[in-house]
Amino acid sequence: MSYDQPYPHAAVQLNHTAVYASDRYLSAEFIAAILGLKVSAPFGPFLPVDLGNGVTLDYLEKRDEPIQSQHYAFLVPDEQFDAVIARLEVVGVTYYADPGHTDSGRVNDLFGGRGAYFDDPDGHNMEVMTRPYARP
Ligand SMILES: [Fe+2]
């Protein structure tokens, strides 16, 4: 398959993904509280958090081995960004301007918007941003 050809499945959308957590309630409630979302009722082993674009984060407990940090980026409206940062400050979670977590307490201005990174309870590297990445 050549990537120069028109993409044949452009209608395909991400529907859900499992997010590993040592405590699914703690992690789901954390991200829901920070982003202003709600946690849905458990669905089998999953604890769902629905996002605005139809994607569900299905929090799933994994207790038998360490949780490998993943990266999740959330596009938030401009008018909600300050509230997200304020909630991080209220709960004492440090945010950073950079993905490597060296520039603490600051937000970035990538792509003409604002963005920040923070860890969830299991060390997943969460990102909030008001503009999507602009790729060449
Ligand atoms: Fe990112």
pLDDT digit string (tens) for 47-90?
A: 999 999 999 999 999 988 899 999 999 999 999 999 999 999 99
Q: pTM for the complete prediction?
A: 0.91
Q: How far is the CA of 4 from the centre of ligand 1 (A)?
A: 25
Residue 113 has pLDDT above 80, yes or no: yes
Predicted local confidence at residue 97, as pLDDT: 98
Predicted local confidence at residue 125, as pLDDT: 98
Q: How far is the CA of 72 from the centre of ligand 1 (A)?
A: 7
Predicted local confidence at residue 44, as pLDDT: 98
Q: How far is the CA of 113 from the centre of ligand 1 (A)?
A: 14
Q: How far is the CA of 135 from the centre of ligand 1 (A)?
A: 12
Conformational region of residue 89, where left means phi above 0, alpha means psi within -120 to 50, and beta covers everything else? alpha
Q: State the chain's mean pLDDT as an integer.
A: 94
Across the chain, which distance is largest between two alpha carbons, in Å? 49
| Distances 6 to 2, 3, 10, 12, 64 between C-alpha atoms, Å | 9, 7, 9, 14, 43
Conformational region of residue 94, where left means phi above 0, alpha means psi within -120 to 50, and beta covers everything else? beta
Q: How far is the CA of 73 from the centre of ligand 1 (A)?
A: 5
CA dihedral (103, 106, 109, 115) in degrees, to 10, reads: 100
Tokens 């990537």 map to which residue? Answer: 3
Residue 11 has pLDDT above 90, yes or no: no
Q: How far is the CA of 132 from the centre of ligand 1 (A)?
A: 9
Average pLDDT over residues 77-106: 98
Average pLDDT over residues 92-109: 98
Residue 39 has pLDDT above 60, yes or no: yes
Q: How far is the CA of 57 from the centre of ligand 1 (A)?
A: 16
Residue 6 has pLDDT above 80, yes or no: no
Q: How far is the CA of 38 from the centre of ligand 1 (A)?
A: 23
The residue count of the chain comes to 136
Would you say 19 and 124 are in contact if contact means Cβ atoms under 8 Å apart? yes
Q: How far is the CA of 107 from the centre of ligand 1 (A)?
A: 14
Cα separation, 125 vs 38, whole angstroms: 20
Predicted local confidence at residue 14, as pLDDT: 96
- The two tokens of residue 5 are 């050809």
End-to-end alpha carbon distance in the chain? 22
